[in-house]
Amino acid sequence: MSGGVYGGDEVGAIIFDVGHQSLRVGYGGEDTPKAEIPTTLGVWEDTVEALDTGQNVKKHYNIDVTAIQVRKKDMEMVSLMKDGMIEDWEMFERLTEYTYKQRLHALSEHHPILMTECPWNTRLKREKLLELMFEKFNVPAMYICKNAVLAAYANGRSTAMVVDSGATHTSAVPVHDGYVITQGIVKSPLGARN
């Protein structure tokens, strides 16, 4: 696959906005997301008999609002996020597969990606995300942007103080000329769930 240059209004980019409560996903340029999927999944294990190794434990995931309402024996509700960052990469991979196949009905290799991240995300987690999206999902291009910068841009500002009150925490993030000033970030553990 040759690398292309993506720009203009019609690139067909898919936007992933991952939060502790939900994943909002849709096409760039549209007014609303195509889907909002909970980032809390139902996780349960099944013991499978294997001829060569004895017993293997296989994890199953119930994804989306309807599926997580169907209780399985020993099913736990688990969030793939912690402190605004992706914590469980296997769950995130399953959620992304589900999103492409069941909600977007799109092939990942046909669409560039814009992914949001919290302003305090680590380089290691960012690299892990890029590795997953390029190697597993074969996306043609990807850009990761701080959600506070995008919130400022959405309001026609490149410099702003962005206050974000989410499900698990509230943050005040200073943005100057499209860049987050990390030393000025203030976080509180109070959110909608608290």
For the chain, give every domain's residue range: 14-39+80-188, 42-79
Q: What is the CATH number of domain 14-39+80-188?
A: 3.30.420.40
Q: pTM for the whole thing?
A: 0.86
Q: Are 16 and 116 in contact (CB under 8 A)?
A: yes
List CB contacts of 59: < 8 A, sequence separation 6 or more: 43, 44, 45, 90
The alpha carbon torsion through 81, 41, 116, 134 (nearest 10 deg) reads 100
Pairing mode, strands 186-188 and 35-38: unpaired
Cα→Cα distances 154→145, 159, 162, 178, Å: 13, 12, 11, 12
Tell me the pLDDT of the chain (194 aa) as tens digits.
Answer: 445 655 655 668 999 999 999 999 999 989 999 999 999 999 988 877 656 666 677 888 999 988 888 878 888 999 999 988 999 999 999 999 999 999 999 999 999 999 999 999 999 999 999 999 999 999 999 999 999 999 999 999 999 999 999 888 999 999 999 999 999 999 998 888 76
By CB atoms closer than 10 A (0-12, 13-18, 19+), residue 25 is buried
β-strands 170-176, 179-180 pairing: antiparallel
Please list the residues that pair with 27 across neighbouring strands.
14
pLDDT in tens, 111-162: 999 999 999 999 999 999 999 999 999 999 999 999 999 999 999 999 999 9
